[in-house]
Every structure is written in structure tokens, then in C-alpha cells.
């Protein structure tokens, strides 16, 4: 599914719709250039989940955890890591449900993962003439959102 998002508010609104519709255990693999809207999308997801905390990209902390909403949100940023360093973090603990409560796992710079987890939704953000384009690859039943392409 491809959709045009004219500005950051549309990106946030799209994220809110995702946050309201996705279930615990979903892993969102975010890809896109710097400034393409990955963190803005996660801010919307958090709002859709009912999280009122300020959502910042965990570029230096690597992982931010948010609780107290419909389900937890785990926000990861792999920008500063090499693939081998990512593997050493054992991130599967965030989506396998054995060590952490199942929630939504949003991973910025997900192309640095060695493998895609089950139940993942890949979201690619890119610039285009009319703002941004977002492409969803995977199983997503996002209702009431206009698709283009």
C-alpha cells in the first residue's frame, strides 16, 4: 500500500491510525532518509496508543520504552550501529514475549537488522514532489485511509 502524505501533520495522523489499529506483538520496520518522517510517524503511533509522554528519537539511548497505554511501545533507533552490534543487543526480547510484555516495536533504520521478525510491517518513507510517500509492506489492515497505488 502506498499513500501520499503532504506534510508532517499528515504523517503524524497516519501514525495515529496505525497506533489505534495494530495489535501487541507487531514489529514496525521503519526505513527512510534522515528527516523523512520516521520519528514523526512513531509520535503519531504513540498518540494513537494513548501515550502522552514526549516521544523523541532514541538515537543515542538506542531504546525508549513507553508504558501506561493500551499496550507498550518500544521505540528503537539503530542509526549509529553496525549490523554486528545490532545482533549483539538480542532485540528479539522485545517481540518474542518471553522477557518483555508484548507491545508495538517501532525500529528506525531497520535495514541494520540481520533478519525480519515474524509479524513485521515494513514502512518506507521517502520524499516526493507533493510531500512524502509512505509505503507499507506486510499484513496491515488499516481501515479508512486512502490508498494510492
pTM of the model: 0.88
The answer, yes or no, to whether residue 145 has pLDDT greater than 50, is no
Amino acid 144: pLDDT = 40
Query: First and final CA of the chain: distance in angstroms?
Result: 7
Asked if 86 and 119 touch (Cβ cutoff 8 Å), the reply is: no
> For the segment 75-84, what is each residue's pLDDT rounded down to a tens digit?
999 998 888 8
- What whole-number distance in Å separates Cα of residue 146 and Cα of residue 56? 28
Region 137-148 average pLDDT: 53
> For the segment 130-141, what is each residue's pLDDT rounded down to a tens digit?
888 999 987 654
Computed over every residue of the chain, the mean pLDDT equals: 87
Amino acid at each position: 500500500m502506498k499513500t501520499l502524505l503532504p506534510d508532517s501533520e499528515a504523517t503524524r495522523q497516519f501514525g495515529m491510525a496505525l497506533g489505534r489499529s495494530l495489535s501487541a506483538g507487531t514489529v514496525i520496520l521503519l526505513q527512510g532518509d534522515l528527516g523523512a518522517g520516521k520519528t514523526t510517524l512513531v509520535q503519531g503511533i504513540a498518540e494513537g496508543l494513548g501515550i502522552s509522554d514526549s516521544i523523541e528519537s532514541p538515537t543515542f539511548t538506542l531504546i525508549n520504552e513507553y508504558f501506561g497505554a493500551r499496550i507498550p511501545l518500544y521505540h528503537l533507533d539503530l542509526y549509529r550501529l553496525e549490523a554486528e552490534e545490532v545482533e549483539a543487543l538480542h532485540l528479539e526480547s522485545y517481540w518474542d514475549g518471553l522477557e518483555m510484555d508484548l507491545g508495538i516495536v517501532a525500529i528506525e533504520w531497520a535495514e541494520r537488522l540481520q533478519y525480519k521478525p515474524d509479524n513485521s510491517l515494513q514502512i518506507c518513507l521517502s520524499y516526493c514532489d507533493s510531500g512524502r510517500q509512505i509505503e507499507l509492506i506486510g499484513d496491515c489492515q488499516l481501515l479508512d485511509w486512502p490508498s494510492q497505488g
